Structure 1
Amino acid sequence: MKLGVVGLPNVGKSTIFNALTSNKAESANYPFCTIEPNVGIVAVPDERLDVLTKMYNSKRTVPASIEFVDIAGIVKGASQGEGLGNKFLSHIRETDAIIHVVRCFQDSTIIHVEGDVNPIRDIETINLELILADLESVNKRLDKASKQAKTGTKDAVKEYNLLLAIKAELEKEKPARSCKFTADEYELAKTFFLLTTKPTIYCANIAEGDISNPSNNPHFVAVAKKAEQEDNTVIAVSGKIEEEIAQAPENEKNELRELYCIKDSGLNQLIKASYNLLGLISFLTAGEQETRAWTIIKGTKAPQAAGKIHTDFERGFIKAEIVAYADLISAGSMLKAKELGKVRSEGKEYVMKDGDVTLFRFNV
């Protein structure tokens, strides 16, 4: 899973990226500090892994992970090549979802490309550029699709009609995801690689003094309201605080969290929200050698989940021995869970659930 971190120049994208990934991406007070995208792999926080590691005395623990990409700042006219324009947009196309960093803090020492802090205007600037870029892509594709649709082929007609519906939304300055897609249409729309079909989280970068109560920040309140209207998610983060904590020695991190009254960091919330955004869940495996979280899409059946571990597991799938994480912890051990009848034997049609502690049986 790859998520693009986007926003106007100087909104704190690279600062937040550095805190997320413990990376050293350049962060400076001028536009286009980031040119080539920086990439970092981040573990998905999952307290269940620590508990299972202790229970099984596992030699190593492997969490699920997300790839974050810090993409160059966008400006007005990017869809027409302004700033880093087309290069920027091509980097977004390669991601699965968007983390849109919005500046919600005042700081006269940090230049704002528009001269003042106005997060709703900033959001609309970027959204419009993505819409215009998609409109250009749709118009190009329509030229070809209209010729193919004249043949009367069912698939060609379906594609042509879907492109027309998307174009109508884009011309209203609405993102393509505002279309009411059927499941089949959504799968077809994904093949268009449009920017505005990508799910989005707004990451409101607030001042240090607002972190304990973001609702006191009127800019954050405005972004939260817009996110609700768009059925998007918003997370409040103080980039400066999170970067300070990320760079501190391990034995000082908890002290800093207490100092800033942070229970669950904004970054942890952002990582979890990103994971959920794409409809992903984790099933768990545990043993003496390793405790691990495996990422699958909601609705995945047991054989396909087994294939995440090894293709032979899917090919020779016999059954899955599964216990819900909560039941295993309540029992205290796998042996006790079996005695209590909490371990189930599931077949090929079983749909995996988040937190299933699983042992696959297979034969090849």
Structure 2
Amino acid sequence: MSLSVGIVGLPNAGKSTLFNALTRAGAAVGNYPFTTIEPNTGMVPVPDTRLDRLAELFHPPKVIPAMVTFTDIAGLVRGASRGEGLGNKFLGHIRECDAIALVVRDFEDTDITHVEGSVDPVRDIDVIELELQLADLETVTKRLEKVGKTVRLQKEKEQATEAVAVLQRVRDHLDGGAPVRTMQLGADERATLHDLWLLTANPMVVVVNVAEGAAIAEPSAAVRGRAAQGGADVVVISARIEAELAELEPADRGAFLADLGIAEPGLDLLARHAYGLLDLITFFTAGEKEVRAWQLRRGLTALDAAATIHTDFAKGFIRAEVSDAEDLLAAGSYNALKEHGKQRLEGKDYVMRDGDVVHFRFNL
């Protein structure tokens, strides 16, 4: 499974600085709009102390964390939904992502211009959300016109009529100024919308880029309220601090953060938020050869988990030997775990839990 998060926002909000810190990929940074035109992409590990502790237990040659793909998308501006500022191209890049990290600037700097003329993170959220909603509204309206013609065909009339009802409800919701992610939609309704790749249906986290001295502050009530209105979480990060942190040796980062009074890197927090946006869980495979964290949608089964590792595991599935990571760590070995009765044998319909350590038995 590959989770892709698009980093979006107005020009000069700090998107590329944040991306550089996340991935150390050296994306271009400049004080003018549209420094980034083609999206930069980088893989970022999801911090998980359970993985680190399992690695200490087994000492394998390979330790592989779960990963999140971040894509640095060029700055959007007012009118992007109408093609302003190469908006159509940039909106297309967002459609390819599973989730959105909306970066808004909340610091003053006379050396860094603001495309809107002043610093106002709530307004900036409004600008981006409006452009995404307008783009979705156009997409839904076009589909309604197409499906409306199908209603006249008796053979497909019932199915098309149901689709029209869903599309009209989504259109009205967007027309009221609200993103699709805030709608209550059933599985069939979501299936109707799936191939539209609606931008505002994606889960979103608002990343408030603050000055270095405000990195430990809570987001303002206004920003938190506006984000909640759009069904989004909020994370406060100083992209400048994260960029400086990324340049340090790993051994020096703890002291650097401690001097600033910061408990953990903001990027670790963002990676976990991004991971949680799509309601993913982590399960592990652990042994002397490899300890690895795997992503899985919450609610999926042992058979789905087996297929995530390899299709042969799913085709020849016999059973799953499952334990909780904390139980395994407390026991100190698989043998001790079994002696304590903490390892279970589960079938293909077992619903996986976050923190499961699993070994699959299968026939080739």
| TM class, shorter-length | over 0.9
Deviation track 1:123-181 (CA, whole Å, cap 9, x = no partner) reads: 11111111111111111111110011233533222211111111111111221223221
Corresponding position of 1:54: 56
Q: Superposition pairs for residues 329-348 of structure 1, below 5 Å?
A: 329-348=329-348
Q: Whole-Å Cα distance in 1 between the matches of residues 222 and 105 of structure 2?
A: 12
Corresponding position of 2:34: 32
How far residue 52 of structure 1 moved from its aligned partner, in angstroms, is 0.9
How far residue 55 of structure 1 moved from its aligned partner, in angstroms, is 1.0
The alignment of Structure 1 onto Structure 2 pairs a total of residues equal to 360
Identity of aligned residues (%): 48
Q: Which amino acid aligns with 1:14?
A: S
Corresponding position of 1:322: 322
How far residue 6 of structure 1 moved from its aligned partner, in angstroms, is 0.1
Corresponding position of 2:161: 157
Q: Which amino acid aligns with 1:161?
A: A
Report if aligned partners of 1:190, 1:197 keep a CA contact under 8 Å in 2. no
Corresponding position of 1:229: 229
Q: Tell me, which stretches of 5 or more residues in structure 1 are unaligned?
A: none
1:23 counterpart SS class = coil
205-214 or 67-76, larger mean C-alpha shift: 205-214
Is 1:265 the equivalent of 2:265? yes
Deviation track 1:40-83 (CA, whole Å, cap 9, x = no partner) reads: 01011111111111211211100010110000001111111111
Q: Tell me, which stretches of 5 or more residues in structure 2 are unaligned?
A: none
How far residue 331 of structure 1 moved from its aligned partner, in angstroms, is 1.5
Is 1:143 the equivalent of 2:161? no
Q: Whole-Å Cα distance in 2 between the matches of residues 235 and 155 of structure 1?
A: 42
TM-score of the pair, normalised by structure 1:
0.96
Aligned-residue CA RMSD (Å): 1.2
TM-score of the pair, normalised by structure 2:
0.96
Q: Which amino acid aligns with 2:313?
A: F
Change (3 A) 1:195 1:231: closer
- Please point out which of 132, 135, 146 is paired with 1:133: 135
Report if aligned partners of 1:41, 1:65 keep a CA contact under 8 Å in 2. yes
Corresponding position of 2:353: 353
How far residue 188 of structure 1 moved from its aligned partner, in angstroms, is 2.3
Corresponding position of 1:246: 246
1:357 counterpart SS class = strand
Corresponding position of 2:206: 202
- Please point out which of 21, 24, 32 is paired with 1:22: 24
Q: Whole-Å Cα distance in 2 between the matches of residues 230 and 91 of structure 1?
A: 21
Q: Which amino acid aligns with 1:197?
A: A
- Please point out which of 64, 68, 71 is paired with 2:70: 68
Corresponding position of 1:303: 303
Q: Which amino acid aligns with 1:210?
A: A
How far residue 237 of structure 1 moved from its aligned partner, in angstroms, is 0.2
